[in-house]
Amino acid sequence: MSERDREMHGPEASVLRHGHAARAESAAARAAAISHYIEGVAGERPEGDAVGENAVWKAAHAARVAAQALAVLSESTPDPAADARCARNSAASAAQASQMGQLVDGDSEPSLAAGKAALKASLAASAAAGASSLGADEELNSQADEAEKLAVAAAERAGWIRPGVDVPAVSTGVRSPEVMSMLHL
């Protein structure tokens, strides 16, 4: 085992995991809240509304994928690169859910802002997980943390997240090898 491998799987890896896990958990909770919001909005639409039904399905799937990434992170040994990929996958899923929020809200100004913030959080998480840093770059991780906080705040302003309201837990469903491979896990 090289010195870098020892460093990336030692005490520093545990410290880095804390940040990646917090970001992954926040993004997964954001995706779940948006999915819950969309279910409520779609329930108010006329029966058979294809836009609402499609948005519900896609948002629920995004929340499930975010939950899967969070579950994988919590079940594995600390590894900054893998942990950052889990956080990236949660953020990307939350961005997908945000797109569905925009769809059902008719692109209102708060939902557009929340969608942009979600995309920025996803891109920042991707940069932090990128090949140049493998989840260990302090500055990139800090930028990803800040972008996630801004995405949560924007989702709150859009009404997708209601502080103090419990969101039902999201089942991870069956984690097939194909899905796990697509998530790079």
One-letter identity of residue 70:
L
Percent of the chain with pLDDT over 90: 66
Could you tell me if 129 and 172 are in contact, meaning their C-beta atoms sit under 8 angstroms apart?
Answer: no
Give me the amino acid identity at 154.
Answer: A
The per-residue pLDDT for 174 is: 61
- Give, to the nearest 10 degrees, the angle between helix 109-129 and helix 80-105: 160
Tokens linked to 182: 């697509």
Q: Could you say which DSSP state residue 174 is in? A: -
- Tell me the pTM: 0.86
Q: What tokens appear for 17 in the block?
A: 């995991």
What's the rounded Cα separation, in Å, for the pair 45 and 7?
54
Query: Would you state the pLDDT for residue 76?
Result: 87
Q: Which residues are within 8 A (CB) of 15 and not within 5 positions of it... i.e. 6 or more apart?
A: none
Query: What tens digit of pLDDT does each residue of 93-148 get?
Result: 999 999 999 999 987 999 999 999 999 999 999 999 998 889 999 999 999 999 99
Model pLDDT, residue 171: 77
Distance CA 36, CA 7 (A): 40
Query: Counting runs of H as helices and runs of E as strands, what totals does the chain give?
Result: 7, 0
The average pLDDT across 172-185 equals 61
